[in-house]
Structure 1
Amino acid sequence: MDVENDNSYTAKTNLLIFNYATDEKDQVFAHQIEVVRQLSIKFRKVYVITASRGFGSLPSNVTCIESKWVQGKHFSNSTRLIKNFLGVVLRDKNIVVFSHMTEVQSALVSPLTKFLRMKHIVWYAHASRSLAMNLNKFMLNSIVTSTVGSCPYTGNKVKILGQAIDEKRFKFTIHKIGSPYNFVHIGRTDPSKDINKLMRFVEDVNSMGYESTFTIVGRPSNPKFNFYIEDLYNLRKGFKEPLRVVFREPMERNSVPDFLESFSIFIHAFIGSLDKTLVEATLCGIPVLSINHEYRSIFGCWSNTANSSLEDEFLALIGLSPEELALELKRRRKIAEEQHSLSGWIEKILTILTN
């Protein structure tokens, strides 16, 4: 089924988007196709140069070009991307460029966008610096990011937008907390996610006498991290007491809200930028236990202690009365709606793109 716009175009320029996947079934980048759809409402013509084109319909005013970006193929990737870029801008110079999570692709074309005096904006939400961004930042008009701590760069070019989550898809329910505690983590199973720390935490909870299960949803973002899954399997085998850990393959993003309904607590140990899954769990009304500084700075801690451990957070959480828990979950949902909604994100990025 095609997606149709209402022809209420307000932008004076056309739009070129670089992204990794225009595919609503992608494990990591499924949200990028929705961003394309939402932005296309305001631009008469939208071009998308994507590394991968998969499932999902696009509006009739969107032209999608698959660059077939392949990990490790630096020369062929670069030449194909620049060829695709030139193919667009040589026939349509009235363009503003938005690089959505694609700082490497952005760095390849930014000398050209600078020379052609095209506005060029990059979404960058990583706590660490990258070589591409270090080289690229001087040629960009703006760097947009989710939170203050999700971007290592500062200055007038940096704009804070929040995360882009369609809150209407996440039904809010006050989840009852009690034994057995069904913990869940959704996301990439990369070493940086410290899932081994989460498994040890669940083992500690069990050893304290609280019956628990742990479901891990996801796969490594890169084959070079496949060893980490084996490490997690071996870790489970090494526990003294049986630990019920279930490993599941990634699911479509549209399935996440319903899937989360069967769990009581979302756990998370990544130190870095604000992960979308934390906000999604919060929108569902699931208590989040995380040591992520960005999440804590926005939503708070259960123990009201800045550097508390996951164990401290868990004990503080289960010590709340049902009324106290409900009030806190509602407060966090409101923050998520106000600061991380898709509609708010689109409004902010449109202002930057069109002004």
Structure 2
Amino acid sequence: MCCSHAATDSKLPAAPIAEASYSHFFRRFHTPYAVLGHDLTLRQGVFALFFVFCLTPWASPPMALALGLLLAQTLGNPFSTHTRRLTQKLLQFSVIGLGFGMNAQAAVAAGKEGVLFTVASISGTLLLGYFIGKWLGLGRQVVHLISCGTAICGGSAIAAVGPVLRAKDEEMSVALGTVFVLNALALFAFPPIGHILAMTQNQFGLWCAIAIHDTSSVVGAAAAYGDQALQVATTVKLARALWIIPVSVGTALLFKQQGVKVKIPYFILGFVAAMLLNTFVPVAKPLGPVLVQLAKIGLTATLFFIGAGLSVKVVRSVGIRPYILGVLLWLVISTASLFVILHAA
């Protein structure tokens, strides 16, 4: 018995020692080292290496998002303030650049095909969100933010509608956190589903535009499926994003908010201008492939930044009920739109 106790006792310090070693290992990545007169940390170096890789031809949008998520869950994002500020601008410029690879006539045709889906899905999602949110006992403003993010274009819609609602920072964070996590799942899940169902490029692009929240993830998933899917998805999604304006105005009236400004997504006009230049100005056509390639690189970097911002703390801070609302809305809109698209004549 005594020997047994002694043997057991001798093993007890192993766990604390292992934890200490683990903690010491990660502490090294946060320790500043003098490099060429500047204090730099190893985690900054890792971030820089991942970022540079995302600029190479070997990196895909899903891979960039995965690298960002890996960094967020381990070392953390050492430049979170800067990447948060850059993400939206980089996405907007990337979307404009994609316009130089599109034909205006084809875009109009794609836009017409998606308009009925857009109207039905936006109104249906907002209405369904209201009832599910009421059932879950969530605050009215959080419900409306998540519903708008699901119905229109994710974080952009939430950022536009939030000030109209005069939403609190916590409410904005909850809505954005819910949408960004689901975006990450969609980016990985949609292309394999499309291949399993043998969806055409046109079908998949339309499904992405309707069923995935953020423009970044829509473009990323569609780009992984094919160039035609990318064109359809981008055009329909940006046409859908214009609904930010009437929905924001409707929000102000519904919630009886006065004296608020509606944010207009002006970058969509840049996308349209780029598309018109590529279609009708012959001099601009040789620049098209270069600008489109730069736009795709910019999109890949954007997804890396988004992934790097989704830490465990952000995910946990949302709570379970907003995720339930977001998941239920997402499942309904994705399955319903998939059924309609696959069975449309």
TM over 0.5: no
Point out the structure with the larger strand share.
1
Please identify the structure whose Cα radius of gyration is greater: 2
Higher RCO structure (Cα 8 Å, ≥6 apart): 2
Point out the structure with the larger helix share.
2
TM-score (norm 2): 0.26
